[in-house]
Amino acid sequence: MGCGFGVYRSLWLSRSFSAIGTIDSVSEVVDQQNSGINYAPTFTFSAADGKEYTVTSGVASNPPDFEVGEHVRVRYLPNHPKSAEIDSFWQLWLVSVVCGGLGAVFTTAGYLLFRYERRRFPTSFEPTHSF
């Protein structure tokens, strides 16, 4: 999954345009388990078509990563400017890093368990009967 999200993000970035945006607000976002509050930035930027767009980021953090009035680099698809994202490592690559990290941990654990079982219960590949 992590590799898939990484490839998708790379393709998205290769087709995206860059612009400068401004953080308009930082909204409180309550997570699904009600265990805490995170902060999602809302930013405005001008696209190549000359129109201004306002977008709320899909990545929230605590403490907030951005301050109101801060200028940020924005990436967007020209045919879908509402899909814009702030051009920072965590805003762009968070899903790939989390999925890739979890995949690496579980793959390593599975491999180590497999090796342990193979050593503990060796199997013979020689035929048990002849024809």
What's the token pair of residue 93? Answer: 């690559």
Mean pLDDT value of segment 69-86: 93
Rounded alpha-carbon distances, angstroms, from residue 3 to 9, 10, 44, 88: 10, 10, 31, 19
Q: How much is the pLDDT for 75?
A: 94
> Is pLDDT of 14 > 80?
yes
Confidence of residue 68 (pLDDT cuts 50, 70, 90): very high
- Among 64-73, 94-103, 122-131, top mean pLDDT goes to 64-73
Q: What is the rounded distance in angstroms from the CA atom of residue 40 to the CA atom of residue 26? A: 5
> Is pLDDT of 64 > 80?
yes
Mean pLDDT value of segment 67-96: 89
